Structure 1
């Protein structure tokens, strides 16, 4: 599955399930303290909303950062960056309207689909990346925080097969079908959302620094 396909699938299902949450569910705390469900959802939307500006900007000549390297533990995960990330999500949560999420993400996917093969972009952190690799990082955001949101609202995980393949390939170099156990449980273990099994090192886990 391509990153664009996975992005489209995972964003659409998140928008669908979120449209059915009650006001009480939106106010619940999440494991991503201090964010509520509404604030974490707003964080995900913000993480996707960088795309149009990146596509409007001039493309770099060479891509020098992979999807896995994007999650390296540098200044983007510093205490100051975390504070800014938290505040940004809280600000966006105040005007959040979940009803536009599916249309918003479908529009992003359509715009990315119109880009030529090998399109490169520069992230807000200054990384030069292939658009496909950056889309893979957006699938990580959708999939991992999708688990956080599902747990907070007491729903089963909705991880889509296409997103599972993209994220597990990034973490283990192999698609979900070649890995043991349910994909959502493996993703939970690999990202510290469940006790880590001894098999993760044997499977060749590539750790990611996540917000």
Structure 2
């Protein structure tokens, strides 16, 4: 059941991102994002690379057992250090520079990943490029994080309202909140779904009252590159 929900969230958020990116003009593709030094087209390329890693992971030999959860994937360490971030930045820029149809390439990548995920067993284990043996479903949760969080970054860069989907929000609120549910926390603070994700990922500041409420809710702070 959880695998099905994660798959639906992945499809919904990737689809919404693709629709939002369709028809951008040259000046919009070149806009700066908060994920410096990436432009809009480079950030979309990063998301495509991040999503596309699933194909190679599924094709590789399966580890004996999962040892890392979706939360554990975001632990501090070398995966988010300066050298890794520099390589991540360069790869996205190279990928963006080599494409002529960024939306089409993104669409082909995410649809292939979604289709492949749906053919795998719920107990399927994969190894990440950082060496983590994880349930494929847990790794796909991290891909929903990539789509949703960078979707906010792209919306802000383009001056548009967030297109965050309910399906993705449900998955991410389950990841981020350990002692409360998303609707309860959002109601207490007067936040919508996008605001909760912005606040929880450092894309919007918390005041003292908000900090106390999210700490009470058992927020999981993710280390993001």
The TM-score, its normalising length taken from structure 2, stands at 0.90
**Corresponding residue of 1:209:** 223
Q: Which runs of 5+ in 1 are unaligned?
A: none
Give the whole-Å Cα distance in 1 for the aligned partners of 2:182 and 2:104: 31
Counterparts of 1:1-211 in structure 2, within 5 Å, are: 2-96=5-99, 97=101, 98-173=103-178, 175-180=181-186, 181-196=191-206, 197-198=210-211, 199-211=213-225
Per-residue deviation, residues 144-195 of structure 1 (Å, max 9, x unmatched): 0000000000110000001001111111135533431201001101111001
Consecutive unaligned residues of structure 2, counting only runs of 5 or more, are none
Give, in angstroms, the shift of residue 113 of structure 1.
Answer: 0.2
Deviations 1:44-72 (A, max 9, x none): 11101111100001111110000001011
Query: Does structure 2 conserve the Cα–Cα contact (< 8 Å) formed by 1:140 and 1:167?
Result: yes
- Answer yes or no: is the 8 Å Cα contact 1:170–1:206 preserved in 2: yes
Q: So what's the TM-score if we normalise by structure 1?
A: 0.96
CA-based RMSD: 1.2
C-alpha distance after superposition, 1:82-112 (max 9, x if no partner): 1101100110011232123223211210111
Partner of 1:50: helix, strand, or coil?
Answer: helix
- Contact 2:42–2:96 (CA<8 Å) still a contact in 1? yes
